[in-house]
């Protein structure tokens, strides 16, 4: 269903790897709502080539960029404005990766080279993106930048490992940069804290199936789906949310404010 919420708006969408990716759903919805945008991902992630189908479906151009490289980001932003024919109105940062998680290193036994790499990809890339956009004066007034995060930034979820620290830093950047970008250019910066979702990044977390089932029972509305997360991103890119900035916004079916649910209590009656 389209309400032309993003008609006339231009953007960049990071992180569509395959059909499960949250960014993929955002691109589909942004297209339905009338936006024009560039799709981008790390050059290595494009070897699978799945993103080509999304580009075709949404009439978008793909510009590869490693989000840890300021040079790549500046090139991406400059070329995006050229291709789309003007300054941008929205950017989605949907990027996350922990090498320690991938290699199975416990949180108390990190390889710090891996930690730094994961931090650069998952958190610092957001600052690099915002700083590059600001220097190039790439965003229109009331533009909106959204990054995706997880509640492990606030509470311990043991197997989320060093990604928890990365997400805390990511959310802090949204607050700090949101202040400066708001004052300078009326640009809004927020993070959306999403329910666990079955994607490539999500399923890399140990015990993810148990995790997702627990979260489902602990959320009065159930886990929020990727498609619904995409809808929330569209709302955040639209003019209907112009005064929302520097926030971490929970999109989690109520999980973040739930102490316990009856469904979880019922599992303990036999003990
Ligand atoms: P995904 O695996 O589909 O997306 C992660 C993306 O990051 C991939 O497209 C990958 O190629 C990209 N990426 C990795 N390194 C990069 C680099 N150097 N430069 C540019 N792009 C790079 O998984 P998903 O779940 O859609 O993840 C998107 C975001 O949502 C991530 O920030 C993730 O932490 C967040 N999130 C995911 C949840 C889940 O349970 N799946 C829950 C809450 C937040």
* Residue 112 appears among annotated catalytic residues: no
Atom of ligand 1 nearest to the CA of 163: 34
Please report how many Cα atoms fall inside a 13 Å half-sphere around the Cα of residue 180, on the Cβ side.
11
Q: 72 C-alpha to center of ligand 1: Å? A: 18
For the question of an ipTM over 0.95, the answer is yes
- Which residues are annotated binding-site positions? 15, 21-22, 95, 167
* pTM metric for this prediction: 0.98
Q: Which atom of ligand 1 is nearest to the CA of 198?
A: 41
The alpha carbon of 36 and the centre of ligand 1 are apart by a number of angstroms equal to 22
What mean pLDDT is reported for the chain?
96
Above 90 in pLDDT, residue 184?
A: yes
Domains of the chain: residue spans and CATH? 10-270 (3.40.50.720)
Q: Rounded to an integer, what distance in angstroms lies between the CA atom of residue 73 and that of residue 50? A: 22
230 lines ligand 1 (CB under 6 A): no
pLDDT at 262: 96
Is the CB–ligand 1 distance for residue 205 below 6 Å?
no
pLDDT in tens, 107-117: 999 999 999 99
Q: Is the CB of 192 under 6 A from ligand 1?
A: no
Strand 188-194 relative to strand 36-40: parallel, antiparallel, unpaired? Answer: unpaired
| Binding site feature residues for NAD(+) | 15, 21-22, 95, 167
Closest CA to 39 of 70, 1, 84: 84
Using one digit for the tens of pLDDT, what is the confidence trace for 149-158? 999 999 999 9
* 243 catalytically annotated: no
Residue 69 CB neighbour total at 10 angstroms: 15
Pick from 257, 269, 233, 250: nearest CA to 29: 233
Sign of CA dihedral 118, 250, 57, 4: negative
- Ligand 1 close to Cβ of residue 229 (< 6 A): no
How far apart (Å, rounded) are the C-alpha atoms in residues 244 and 238? 11
Is the CA virtual torsion 27, 28, 31, 32 positive or negative? negative
Q: Which residues does 191 contact at the CB level (< 8 Å), separation at least 6?
A: 146, 147, 148, 149, 170, 171, 174, 247, 248, 249
């Amino acid at each position: 269903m389209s309400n032309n919420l993003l008609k006339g708006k231009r953007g960049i969408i990071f992180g569509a790897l395959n059909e499960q990716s949250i960014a993929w759903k955002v691109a589909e919805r942004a297209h339905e709502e009338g936006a024009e945008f560039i799709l981008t991902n790390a050059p290595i992630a494009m070897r699978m080539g799945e993103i080509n189908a999304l580009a075709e479906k949404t009439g978008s151009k793909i510009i590869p960029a490693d989000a840890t490289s300021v040079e790549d980001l500046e090139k991406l932003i400059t070329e995006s404005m050229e291709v789309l024919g003007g300054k941008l109105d929205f950017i989605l940062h949907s990027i996350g990766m922990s090498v320690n998680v991938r290699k199975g290193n416990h949180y108390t036994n990190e390889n710090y080279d891996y930690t730094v790499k994961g931090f650069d990809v998952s958190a610092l890339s957001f600052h690099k993106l915002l700083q590059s956009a600001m220097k190039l004066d790439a965003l229109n007034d009331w533009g909106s930048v959204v990054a995706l995060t997880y509640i492990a930034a606030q509470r311990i979820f043991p197997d989320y490992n060093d990604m928890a620290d990365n997400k805390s830093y990511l959310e802090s950047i949204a607050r700090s940069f949101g202040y400066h970008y708001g004052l300078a250019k009326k640009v809004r910066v927020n993070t959306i804290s999403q329910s666990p979702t079955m994607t490539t990044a999500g399923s890399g977390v140990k015990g993810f199936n148990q995790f997702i089932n627990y979260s489902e029972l602990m959320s009065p509305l159930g886990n929020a789906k990727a498609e619904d997360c995409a809808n929330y991103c569209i709302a955040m890119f639209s003019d209907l949310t112009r005064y929302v900035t520097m926030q971490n916004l929970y999109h989690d079916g109520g999980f973040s404010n739930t102490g316990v649910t009856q469904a979880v209590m019922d599992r303990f009656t036999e003990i």
